């Protein structure tokens, strides 16, 4: 399922030049793939610090001859001139580049700030100077911090619990200032625990779903931090791609200079998630049904519960989650097994 066919038909009728930062990463490479499939011209920017060339090689295989519409720039958003070069001629910018991970930011707050704050400002300046029509950027549910409200509503946030959360909230503030001061049309998307194909299962800061997928496929016991009752609003990558296209093309002026929750609007505990993933992998490897998890202590900076209210995104962007958690996990498991 995809964002409504009318929008894709409209985009195909008038191809535009898009810039996707973090293009070799998980979310960025999926955005590049969709844009190329609907005949857009795409520039990708990535310094390959957390993104991978093999993601782009995979995109090339998926899109075939349409790959000719793609230009890759290996450079760093911490360099203003690199941002200006990448933005040149771009009509729409989808800014995904960042240093993710709450634990990483706690270990190294300076690197997080340099990429997520300094790099973000560089991109805003470059977007302003090149006259881009729309600047859509990735924010995070981490900005809600210790806010006790459930579900999370965009205007109510709490105290940030990590340097990563601070960096994403600062981005939202800067985007608002650039919209007010310079007329840069921006829309922020607060992602809630995105998962799907090409998400890296390796490394100290790998997200829970690819890490558990990899463990099951290798006959290992996945680790649950805490008691298993920690809950998240997990969102399949196709929902996020749709949200970006809707934000990039939103004609309603009231949607501009706002930040939207992008999620499924459903909370799933880690114990429930464990069962969903195990059952999905078991369709290919029945022996994993005997694997039980390992429980370890809670991680510092983790939010205990997270559930999104997506009504504002539905009302102003026309966003509707096309895949629920189970459907997304099934498709993700199929991709990891084939990989």
Query: What residues act catalytically?
Result: 164
Alpha-helix residue ranges (DSSP H) falling in 218-310: 237-249, 270-282
Residue 246 CA, distance from chain mean position: 15
53 and 24 in contact (C-beta within 8 Å)?
Answer: yes
Strand partners, 236: 195
- Token pair recorded at residue 207: 């997200």
| Cβ contact 273:230 at 8 Å | no
Distance CA 252, CA 258 (A): 12
- Burial tier of 219 (Cβ tally within 10 Å: 0-12, 13-18, 19+): exposed
Task: Please count the residues of the chain.
Answer: 339
The two beta strands, 235-236 and 194-195, are parallel
């Amino acid at each position: 399922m995809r964002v409504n066919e009318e929008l894709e038909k409209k985009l195909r009728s008038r191809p535009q030049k898009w810039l996707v930062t973090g293009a070799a990463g998980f979310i960025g490479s999926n955005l590049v793939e969709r844009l190329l499939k609907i005949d857009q011209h795409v520039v990708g920017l990535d310094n390959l610090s957390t993104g991978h060339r093999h993601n782009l090689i995979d995109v090339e295989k998926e899109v075939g001859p349409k790959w000719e519409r793609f230009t890759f720039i290996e450079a760093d958003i911490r360099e203003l001139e690199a941002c200006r070069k990448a933005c040149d001629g771009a009509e729409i910018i989808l800014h995904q580049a960042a240093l993710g991970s709450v634990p990483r930011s706690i270990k190294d707050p300076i690197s997080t700030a340099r990429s997520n704050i300094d790099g973000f400002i560089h991109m805003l300046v470059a977007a302003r100077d090149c006259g881009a029509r729309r600047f859509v950027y990735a924010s995070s549910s981490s900005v809600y911090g210790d806010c006790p409200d459930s579900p999370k509503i965009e205007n109510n946030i709490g105290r940030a619990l990590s340097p990563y959360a601070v960096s994403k909230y600062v981005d939202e503030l800067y985007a608002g200032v650039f919209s007010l001061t310079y007329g840069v049309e921006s829309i922020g998307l607060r992602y809630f625990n995105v998962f799907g194909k090409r998400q890296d299962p390796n490394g100290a800061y790998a997200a829970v779903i690819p890490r558990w997928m990899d463990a099951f496929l290798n006959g290992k016991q996945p680790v649950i931090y805490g008691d298993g009752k920690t809950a998240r609003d997990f969102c399949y990558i196709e929902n996020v791609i749709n949200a970006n296209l809707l934000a990039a093309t939103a004609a309603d002026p009231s949607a501009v200079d706002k930040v939207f929750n992008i999620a499924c609007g459903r909370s799933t505990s880690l114990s429930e998630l464990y069962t969903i993933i195990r059952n999905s992998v078991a369709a290919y490897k029945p022996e994993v049904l005997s694997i039980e998890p390992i429980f370890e202590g809670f991680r510092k900076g983790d939010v205990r519960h997270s559930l999104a209210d997506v009504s504002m995104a539905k009302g102003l962007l026309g966003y509707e989650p096309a895949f629920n958690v189970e459907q997304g996990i099934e498709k993700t498991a199929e991709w990891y097994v084939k990989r």
